[in-house]
Amino acid sequence: MGLQIGLGSRIRKSPFFDALVRHGLTHVSVYNHMYMPGSFGDPDEEYRALVERVSLWDVAAERQVEVVGPDAFALCQYVSARDLRGMAVGRVRYAPMCDHDGILINDPMVLKLTEDRFWISIADSDVLLWCQAVAAERGLDCRVFEPDVSPLAVQGPRADDTMADLLGEWVRDVRFFGFVETSYDGIPFVLCRSGWSGQGGFELFLQDGSRGLDLWDAVWAAGEEYGIHPGGPTLNERIESDLFSYRADCGAAATPLEVGLDRYLSLDRDDDFIGKDALLTERERGPARRLVKALLSGERLASTSESPRPAFGSDGQPCGEVRVAVWSPKHQSNLCLALVSSDVAGGPFTTITSSGETLTATHLANFAE
C-alpha cells in the first residue's frame, strides 16, 4: 500500500470538500493548514479543460485575513511592500509582504471592502499571526482575524459564459482585479475577476461556509453546457503564464527582487514599510539570485517534481536549484523554474533527476520579464 494521508481534524476541510470527493478527487496537498485539491486523476484533461473550456477549483485554502477599524489601512500599508494609497473600494492589489530583512513572507492580494475594512488574501504562510503581532506592537486600532470566507475559482475561456448564465450578463463588465458583493439563491459571496491562471475567470469568495455545496452545485450546473471540469491550480499552465507560487518557486529565504516581483514593489514611496531598508540596499547592489524559466531536455517527466533538484553552471559548479519542473503542453517540452545565481541567469545550466539522469536547461526568460 502506498503512502496515505489521514484526514484528521488538525488539517481543515473546506466547505466544498464533499463535492471534491464526489467528483473523484485523487490528490491533495496541504496549504494554510487546509487540504487543497491537486488533481482528479487526469492532469492532461484538467489542463485542457482550463485552457479550452472552464474549470472549477476549490481554493478555500487561500485564506483571508480581515483587517477592520480606524487603523486598518495603516496596518495594511505598513506590512505591504507595495503602496496601497489611491486604491478604491471594490478594487484589488497584488502586494508582496516581507520581513525586516527583505525576505518574502507572502504575496497576497489585498481587497478593499470599505475605507476601514480589508481582506488580505494570502498564499501559504501564517500571515494572520504576523499581522496580529504587528498591529499589537504598533498599538494600531484595528481588529485582525480570519473571517468565514472561502474562495471558489471559475477559470478558463468559458468562465464568463458560465457566470453570466448563473448571475446575469452584468458579470462581463467586472474589471480585472475588481469585485462586487452579490448573492445567488441566498448564498452571499464576493465576485472578483481574478484567479491563479492565465486563462481568465472569477473567484467567488463565499461568506457562509454552510452553503459551500450549494454554491459548488450551482456553478457546476451553469457550466455543464460549456464542458466544466473539476480541477485546481495547474502547475504547467501557471508556469507558462508567469504566475508565481510562494514557497514552491523560492523556498523560505528569497527576496521579491530575486523572484521577479520588482513591478509590484514601491521602494521609493515616502512612508516606511517592513523590509524597506533591506530592499533598497539589495536594489542598489543587485539581487544575488534570479528566478528563471527554462526548458529541460529529456523525455516527458512522468510526474511533477516533489522537491527541488540541484542546478549546476556550465563550469559544473552548483549554482542554485530547480524549484519545480513539469511537462508543458504549450512548449511540448519539460519546463522548469529555477532559482540560480545571477551570473548564471540567462545562460544554460544542468540538473540531475532523482533517478540520476542529467538534463540540460535552455533559458527562456527571467521570470515575469
Instruction: Give the bridge partners for 333, in sequence order.
Output: 328
Q: Count Cα neighbours of 249 within 13 Å in the Cβ-side half-sphere.
A: 31
Domains defined along the chain, listed by start: 17-62+149-238 (3.30.1360.120), 64-139+255-285 (3.30.70.1400)
Q: Please say if the pLDDT value at position 213 is more than 90.
A: yes
Neighbouring residues of 213: CB distance < 8 A, sequence distance ≥ 6: 15, 16, 18, 19
257 vs 272: CA distance, rounded Å: 18
User: Is residue 311 a contact partner of residue 264, using CB atoms and an 8 Å limit?
Assistant: no
| Average pLDDT over all residues of the chain | 96
**If phi over 0 gives left and psi between -120 and 50 gives alpha, with beta otherwise, what is residue 251?**
left
User: Is residue 127 a contact partner of residue 277, using CB atoms and an 8 Å limit?
Assistant: no
pLDDT band at 1 (very low <50, low <70, confident <90, very high): low
Average pLDDT over residues 269-274: 98
245 vs 254: CA distance, rounded Å: 12
91 vs 232: CA distance, rounded Å: 24
* Secondary element (H or E) of residue 73: helix 72-79
Grid cell 531598508 is found at 277
What pLDDT does 303 receive?
A: 73
Q: Please say if the pLDDT value at position 179 is more than 90.
A: yes
Instruction: Give the bridge partners for 366, in sequence order.
Output: 292
pLDDT band at 6 (very low <50, low <70, confident <90, very high): confident
Q: Please say if the pLDDT value at position 2 is more than 70.
A: no
Average pLDDT over residues 58-85: 98
Pairing of strands 229-231, 55-58: parallel
Average pLDDT over residues 38-64: 97
173 vs 84: CA distance, rounded Å: 24
Q: How many residues does the chain have?
A: 369
pLDDT band at 22 (very low <50, low <70, confident <90, very high): very high
What end-to-end distance do the CA atoms of the chain give, in Å? 44
What pLDDT does 85 receive?
A: 98
Burial of 344 (0-12, 13-18, 19+ CB in 10 A): buried
Read off the pLDDT of residues 163-176 as tens digits, 9 standing for 90 and up. Answer: 999 999 999 999 99
Q: Please say if the pLDDT value at position 3 is more than 80.
A: no
Please state, for a pLDDT cut of 90, what percent of the chain lies above it.
Answer: 93
Neighbouring residues of 292: CB distance < 8 A, sequence distance ≥ 6: 337, 338, 339, 340, 345, 346, 363, 364, 365, 366, 367
Please state which of the ranges 3-7, 266-270, 279-283 shows the lowest mean pLDDT. Answer: 3-7
pLDDT band at 8 (very low <50, low <70, confident <90, very high): confident
228 vs 159: CA distance, rounded Å: 9
Neighbouring residues of 169: CB distance < 8 A, sequence distance ≥ 6: none
**Is the whole-model pTM more than 0.75?**
yes
Q: Give percent helix, percent strand, percent coil of the chain, each to the nearest 5.
A: 25, 30, 45
What pLDDT does 9 receive?
A: 86
